[in-house]
Amino acid sequence: MDKIYVNQMEFWGYHGLFPEENKLGQRFYVDLELELDLEPAAQTDDMTKSIDYGAIYEVAKKIVEGKAFHLVESVAEQIAQELFAQFLMLDACLVKVYKPDPPIPGHYKSVAIEIHRSRPS
């Protein structure tokens, strides 16, 4: 399966279990791996047979910078669902959401979750 990658998109969101996260917000990063057949686009040089990278970015931005969720898992799930709703040629997607500054003690670069979803039947 062919893939489109959009990596390290940075957004400001208000997701988390703690009130200060919902009030102050924090950075989130999103990586997307989209699975679809890119052969028709490659053979014809026709953008309508692929998915516009800017449109992919806007989907992630709308979710991360929109409604606040308690769980980053919910953010990732919403991104996947919206991608399937907007891009009918999408067969599957991997969504990884990083939360670099969660309010937990310790030294680490980030926490992240990753989900893989296939188009609902």
Region 9-32: what's the mean pLDDT?
95
Region 59-76: what's the mean pLDDT?
98
- Phi then psi for 68, rounded to 5 degrees? -80, 135
Tell me how many domains the chain contains. 1
pTM summary value: 0.95
The residue annotated as part of the active site, out of 49, 61, 99, 109, is: 99
Q: Is 121 within a domain? A: no
CATH number at residue 6: 3.30.1130.10
- CA 2 centroid distance within chain: 18
Q: Is 74 within a domain? A: yes
Structural domain containing residue 43: 2-113
Q: Write down the pLDDT at residue 7.
A: 98
The model's pLDDT over 32-58, given as tens digits with 9 standing for 90+, comes to 999 999 999 999 999 999 999 999 999
Give the whole-angstrom CA distance, residue 18 versus residue 100: 15
109 is catalytic: no
Q: Report which of 120, 31, 107, 108 is spatially closest to residue 72, judged by C-alpha positions.
A: 31
Q: Is 119 within a domain? A: no
Q: Is 46 within a domain? A: yes
- Tokens describing residue 68: 């606040």
Q: Is 93 within a domain? A: yes
